[in-house]
Chains A and B, each alone.
Chain A
């Protein structure tokens, strides 16, 4: 039987291994991203150099300056793209959450025929690849005159996110005991009040986690956005990235600068809500 001392030594070895493993994993996760951040501050000549330049000789804001510069100086309407992205992502996330809450609540609280089939049917809509969807969707939206509008893209993203939000929120509402709403109703709430005042606050964390997933999906989506947007009216940042390409050239440094602008809000948001995110997923996961 192992002695106390060897157990202590093993514990220490294990925690060292844990630290090293975590360090390596985090490096692998973060380095490619940080490489992009670094590139956005480096002159093009140093980015893809041979022999490689590991320690930057000079860091500057040229790519950013150019990006915010006027037409013809390498500028892209980045602030407009940013605004479009923000409007579209935030609105579609909120709407998807509302629709998802209604749907999730229905699945969690009511019994009806064909529930399981309807549920899987809703989920399966998410399985349709964007490639297969983009053209017919475009034709319909073109007929409806909502191509290149915020509305068209918002509608699309709501549809993209609803299955997942329904699922997650359904799982969450099942965790909220039915008695809670019943107690509230006895206390004089209408069913609607009971939902808003009691069940919704309890399920908040789950809704937050559904929200962050929906937001990130909308924020980063490219395939459909490239089809449904056309001009500064509605082009989002992922589509805007392609402004840095022309037929034969590609401005990687500029792309990186725009990418940094895309990543920062998402990162801040995630950092702020990640606690809820974990709590929400926890509830949504086990039962459901």
Chain B
């Protein structure tokens, strides 16, 4: 089998490693290098202009960057937690339904069919202050007689973005948690009922601990590809107005392609990647802990 004298596990992993190296690792090395240069897209010769850690120092000293950084962490925290809670609620409700579950489960995953670009446009129009769906509805119902500037007001704009983000991504949580609910052994739940638990107590003390691994899996997945929210935010507000919704990704995207300052953008990008990896590893740790808590393999 192993004419190359490679251990079988390596043979099996090789395709994955090669593809990831080619598509992710090599480009990353390239962009890592360029983060130490004054690289500007429109002037290829600048790729060779080594400026050391200038870009990193510039980012570190840029208030706008740190605001975006903080805002990104805030948005991630709020969005991930809310998605988790809503996904949990949704999954529990769906799991309790006896007929038409197939349809409900599909409907539950509906937002996952929407490309992030489309979601961006969709919510930009829905939250339009003048002719948007939300304001039209509120005004028709007589709930308000002003045009609420959903995408402009400091708090509302962040809210709108989070809403769009939650709308697209709660499904991921719901589907994973639903799978978890189906996987829970019924005995301990029934034991809890007999032990005197109210439905809420048996959920809190028995079901939830069982669900934790699934929740952390969902968290890990989401923190892996949460940067996809870039498409949504870019179209909805592009970080504006007055940088009120500026996130790391919109800042990096604009710096990289519109301003064409690739070197600087890559330096900021690396800081963003570290943030993302931190979240991911954090949730992986939590996942392992939750699993061993349940005594389920490593």
Contact = CB atoms under 8 A, between A and B. Distances in A.
A1 interface: no
A217 B172 CA distance: 12
Given A99-B19, A132-B273, A135-B262, A22 B97 contact: yes
A80 interface: no
Given A22-B97, A132-B272, A106 B13 contact: yes
Given A52-B140, A156-B23, A222 B116 contact: yes
Interface stretch (A65-73, A136-144, A178-186, A196-204): A136-144
Contact of B113 (A28, A35, A250, A267): A267
A102 B16 contact: yes
Nearest to A121: B20
B123 A32 contact: yes
A25 B7 CA distance: 51
B97 to A, nearest CB: 7
B291 interface: yes
B191 interface: no
Contacts, number: 281
Which range contains the number of B residues in contact with the other chain?
35 or more
A33 B114 contact: yes
B272 A129 contact: yes
Which of B125, B131, B170 has most A Cβ within 10 Å? Answer: B125
A125 to B, nearest CB: 4
B126 to A, nearest CB: 6
Nearest to B1: A191
Interface string B218-244: 001101110110110000000000000
A274 B105 contact: yes
Given A129-B249, A285-B183, A120 B284 contact: yes
A25 B120 CA distance: 21
A158 B24 CA distance: 11
Contacts of A286: 180, 183, 213-214, 291, 294, 296
B123 A106 contact: no
Contacts of B137: 52
A100 interface: yes
A123 interface: yes
Given A102-B15, A285-B213, A238 B230 contact: no
B113 A278 contact: no
Interface in A129-184: 129-133, 135-137, 139-140, 155-156, 158-160, 162-164, 166, 174
Contacts of A223: 228, 230-231
Nearest to A112: B9
A242 interface: yes
A140 B130 contact: no
Contacts of B86: 25
A50 B231 CA distance: 28
A127 interface: yes
Interface in B244-298: 249, 252-253, 256-257, 262, 265-266, 269-270, 272-273, 276-277, 279-281, 284, 291, 294, 296-297
B31 to A, nearest CB: 5
Contacts of B297: 174, 287-288
Contacts of A131: 227, 230, 249, 252-253, 256, 265, 269
B280 A123 contact: yes
A166 B224 CA distance: 14
15 contacts: A30-B107, A32-B123, A48-B131, A50-B130, A102-B12, A112-B7, A130-B227, A131-B253, A131-B256, A140-B27, A155-B22, A216-B112, A220-B115, A267-B106, A274-B106
Given A129-B276, A277-B179, A281-B175, 10 more contacts: A128-B28, A129-B230, A132-B272, A162-B19, A217-B225, A223-B231, A241-B118, A259-B115, A263-B113, A270-B113
Interface of A: 18, 21-22, 25-26, 28-30, 32-33, 35-36, 48-52, 54, 98-100, 102-103, 105-107, 109-110, 112, 118, 120, 122-133, 135-137, 139-140, 155-156, 158-160, 162-164, 166, 174, 191, 216-217, 219-223, 237-238, 241-242, 250, 252, 255, 259, 262-263, 266-267, 270-271, 274-275, 277-283, 285-288
Closest 9 pairs (CB-CB, A-B):
A136-B27, A281-B179, A159-B23, A129-B227, A132-B269, A110-B9, A106-B12, A52-B136, A220-B115
